[in-house]
Amino acid sequence: MPTITIDNQRVTVPEGTNVLEAAKKLGIVIPHFCYHEALGAVGACRLCAMTFLEGSDKGPKLKGVHMSCMVTARDGMVVSTLDEESADLRRHVIEWLMMNHPHDCPVCDEGGECQLQDMTVAGGHGIRRYRGLKKTYVNQDLGPFISHEMNRCIQCYRCVRTYQDYCGGTDFGVLGCNQRIYFGRFRDGTLQSPFSGNIVDACPTGVFTDRTYRFRARPWDLEEAPSVCPHCSLGCAVIPGARYRELQRVRAGVNAKTNGFFICDQGRFGYGHANRPDRPRSPRLGEREVSWPEALGALRRELEIIIAEHGSQAVAFLGSSRASLESNAQLLELARFFGSENFALEIDPERDRAARTTAALLGECARSQEEVRRSDFVLLVGADPLNEGPMMALAVRQAVRAGGSAALIDPRPVELPFAATHLPLSPQNLPEVLKALAEERFERFSARERTVLAGISARIKEAKRPVLIGGGNLLGSSGAQLLIEAARAFSRGDRACGAALLLAGPNSFGSALLAAQSPGPDRLLAQMQEGRIRALLCLESDPFADHPEPGRARMALSRLKLLAALDYLPTETARRCDIFLPTTAPAESAGTYVNFEGRMLPFGSVFDPGVPIQITGGGDHPPRSFEAHTPGSLPRPAWAALAALRGDSLSLAHIRRNLQRSDARFAGLAELEEGGEGRRVNGAGQMPGHGPELPKHPSAEGALRLVVTECLFGSETIASFSPVLDPVRPAPVVRLHVEDGVRLGIHDGEKVRLRTELGDLAVEVRLCEAMAPGIVVLPRLRQGEWEIFVPGVHRDCILQKEGG
């Protein structure tokens, strides 16, 4: 650990730290543009100059003015940032960078959070001397998310290094050379990378700004708080910003253990759910809007009547993976309060079992996104990270960029932003392959498969930090168990093999930990059908849309005497329930999610709920009528509403303290800081009961196996209620192996009829080679006729040519 002296202050930094970072540690911030912690140093902007007075004790003597981002701190270095020579150089460099920059700050969306503005002031440049013409450019239409204003560019290359190097995009880059540099696309058009929004954060000035937030607010007018992304199980840090009771944007937060510095576009642009005009904001009895006391009183009375008539077990409680840990815990408290043992914290039975299995077994095998980024071999089994947890794809990409390698065993044609060997095996073979890998017995596989599998097995054994990543949807509970067992089998005394499972929701792991005593959603549904459960209280869960057997779920729900729901989305359950209690959206209240690795991540409250002024003012000036209450401000945090049902009023801090006192696995929860790195839970969940056996082969002659798969911008509940994402919703196409296409006489792009036991669907077919034969891959698309198809269920289907 070298110790160096900067401006007469000593600092000791880890080996390999550059001098710019070392200075930052002392609180000395020197202007810089091209250096970025995640992108590395390139020494291009020439702004971070410092004067080296003494080189190091060892190695070459370094004296004079150097770019501090390019110099590794060594013992004995003496550096000055105040020296006139380097200060003068910085002043000139910034003046030169500012030469062509327009003075359009008053109309620039970056104003107020512009690094160029800050650095210009910090660099000591104030009065413009250049009187010539400035360079101007024609901007491009980069799609619905990003605005382009090339005149402001200072050629720092951060956008390209983010888009191409870090995120693996190939449709945006740098054109021209020297005085003609242009950052853009080959032609106008929507940026293709699902991580495109990161160039907004990376750009130090206003070349790339968030188009969805254009001219809406100045950053100093925004209410912001460190938060956690609610759109998948990875738990990336985000900073939502709200103004005028409207969630206006989301930018990436920094968490070294999870996302690092970047987020995906679903996390960034999936925010519209909070502002929807049709969002339910009032407690309701049937169709009638009522006050909170009336709704709570009625709900409690109804539940008590049913319990008095049919016993405590006649009321059931359904939590979810999108509700916070605290809310789910309060739901359990409520079940206990009423003496009911009938609860589940996830409606989809296989997702429930997969999450509970993961929470029970993962233990010390768990790997964070950061650990995946530092891995040297990653095997993905039944995992489609771009669609099931996009930032995980980037984590693996960083591992591959650093010299590691990756392989994928998956029936689907999985797109990845890095090179990987792909072995397409049918879904029913995935458990077998995991077993075979753990036991190193490949004789059941074909010669080609054997070679690939032996290669994968050898690479796992050679690797120092291998990680196996599975997808909960495709692997299910037994697959998750086999994946973790395989990781254990590959672990040795000198090094462990890690595992990660992509789960369904932001709090799947947390809900699974709490669900130890749950009989599971299957039992709940069966008892509803039998008429033994008479009342169901749904916490931010939509059994109408999310049960894999919609017909059965509808039948069971129709038999209920009382259906009550707490939610912040206008789901079918929220629309159809007898008693409705409005809850706050994730950005409107604090809480905690436990991410896929078991990391507790608390998030803060960004703003208070209320109908956006945009809506109350009809898009014009805020209305000039005055009242004592904010319109639409009734939603309450679910944990508060659930506590109130018991007649209790608890603060969040109180709930967290109770939780960690009663359950040692959540130790430290109450002390965690919002926006911090979080902390892994201390202990495991319990294994769920066995699920039904998967059918091995298609039942009907000529039938294909239907594999429903999550898709980015189309599947996730909260994002599906966010209109901001409407322009990029995925196309409704199914994919089929080329061989099956030939056999069935179906051509690429042809419209055919997909027949399943759930009904028929007209679909367009895309033929693919990089997938397993015998399957049809169908994306999970919400809010349309495709919604009935839920991932994780193995169903047969028949493709029939129209008119055939």
Partner 1 sequence: MAEVLLTEDQLDHFRVRAAEIAHPRELVIDVLRAIQSNFGWVPDEGVELTGEILRLSPLQVEEVATFYDKIFRQPVGKRVIHVCDSVCCWSRGAEEIYAHLQKTLGISPGGTTSDGVFTLLPTCCLGACGEAPAVMIGLTTYGDLTPERLDEILERERAALEE
Q: Which residues bind partner 1 (CB under 8 A)?
A: 170-177, 180, 182, 185-187
CB of 140 to partner 1, least distance (A): 11
CB of 419 to partner 1, least distance (A): 12
CB of 585 to partner 1, least distance (A): 37
Beta carbons within 8 Å of 788's beta carbon, 6+ residues apart: 550, 758, 759
Least Cα distance to 243 among 568, 629, 587, 570 occurs for 587
Q: Report which residue type is found at 289.
A: E
Q: Report which residue type is found at 653.
A: A
Question: What CA–CA distance (Å, rounded) separates 223 from 244?
Answer: 9
CB of 175 to partner 1, least distance (A): 4
Report the residue number, 176 or 804, with the smaller CB distance to partner 1: 176
Paired tokens of 337: 């309060």
Beta carbons within 8 Å of 8's beta carbon, 6+ residues apart: none
Report the residue number, 170 or 662, with the smaller CB distance to partner 1: 170
Report the residue number, 185 or 780, with the smaller CB distance to partner 1: 185
Report the residue number, 182 or 337, with the smaller CB distance to partner 1: 182
CB of 170 to partner 1, least distance (A): 4
What single-letter DSSP state applies at residue 708?
Answer: E
Report the residue number, 169 or 521, with the smaller CB distance to partner 1: 169
Least Cα distance to 501 among 525, 521, 473, 537 occurs for 473
CB of 187 to partner 1, least distance (A): 8
Angle CA 180–182–185, to nearest 5: 140
Beta carbons within 8 Å of 671's beta carbon, 6+ residues apart: none
Report the residue number, 174 or 694, with the smaller CB distance to partner 1: 174
The values of phi and psi at residue 224, to 5°, are: -130, 155
CB of 421 to partner 1, least distance (A): 16
CB of 194 to partner 1, least distance (A): 16
CB of 179 to partner 1, least distance (A): 11
Report the residue number, 163 or 666, with the smaller CB distance to partner 1: 163
Question: What CA–CA distance (Å, rounded) separates 191 from 88?
Answer: 40
Beta strands 759-768; 9-12: pairing state: unpaired
Least Cα distance to 386 among 783, 789, 779, 794 occurs for 779
Angle CA 326–503–512, to nearest 5: 40
Quick one: 594 exposed, middle or buried, by C-beta within 10 A (0-12, 13-18, 19+)?
Answer: buried
CB of 182 to partner 1, least distance (A): 8
Report the residue number, 96 or 186, with the smaller CB distance to partner 1: 186
CB of 176 to partner 1, least distance (A): 5
Report the residue number, 174 or 670, with the smaller CB distance to partner 1: 174
Q: Report which residue type is found at 306.
A: I
The rounded Cα 799 to chain-centroid distance in angstroms is 34
CB of 164 to partner 1, least distance (A): 9
14-22 contact pairs (CB < 8 A, 24+): 16/72, 17/72, 17/73, 18/68, 18/69, 18/70, 18/71, 18/72, 18/73, 19/50, 19/68, 19/69, 19/71, 19/72, 19/73, 19/77, 19/79, 20/48, 20/68, 20/69, 21/73, 22/73
Inter-CA distances, 160 with 174, 250, 490, Å: 7, 21, 38
Report the residue number, 177 or 447, with the smaller CB distance to partner 1: 177
Report the residue number, 160 or 344, with the smaller CB distance to partner 1: 160
Report the residue number, 166 or 213, with the smaller CB distance to partner 1: 166
Report the residue number, 180 or 629, with the smaller CB distance to partner 1: 180
Angle CA 406–34–95, to nearest 5: 165
Classify the C-alpha dihedral 207-208-211-215 as positive or negative. negative
The rounded Cα 338 to chain-centroid distance in angstroms is 35
Residue length of the chain: 804
CB of 159 to partner 1, least distance (A): 13
CB of 136 to partner 1, least distance (A): 16
CB of 184 to partner 1, least distance (A): 9
- Mutual orientation of helices 115-123 and 84-97 as an angle, nearest 10°? 140
Report the residue number, 193 or 473, with the smaller CB distance to partner 1: 193
Paired tokens of 797: 């289907």
CB of 191 to partner 1, least distance (A): 11
Report the residue number, 386 or 484, with the smaller CB distance to partner 1: 386
CB of 376 to partner 1, least distance (A): 21
Quick one: 13 exposed, middle or buried, by C-beta within 10 A (0-12, 13-18, 19+)?
Answer: buried
Question: What CA–CA distance (Å, rounded) separates 240 from 234?
Answer: 17
Paired tokens of 678: 């979080």
Q: Do 501 and 530 touch, CB atoms closer than 8 A?
A: no
Q: List the beta strands (DSSP E) in 728-786.
A: 733-737, 751-756, 759-768, 775-779
CB of 192 to partner 1, least distance (A): 9
Phi-psi region of 685 (alpha: psi -120 to 50; beta: other; left: phi over 0): beta
Report the residue number, 182 or 418, with the smaller CB distance to partner 1: 182
Least Cα distance to 109 among 68, 54, 152, 160 occurs for 152
Report the residue number, 82 or 175, with the smaller CB distance to partner 1: 175
Question: What CA–CA distance (Å, rounded) separates 257 from 234?
Answer: 11
Q: What is the CA radius of gyration of the chain?
A: 28
If you search the block for the tokens 């990653």, which residue do you land on? 378
Report the residue number, 178 or 625, with the smaller CB distance to partner 1: 178
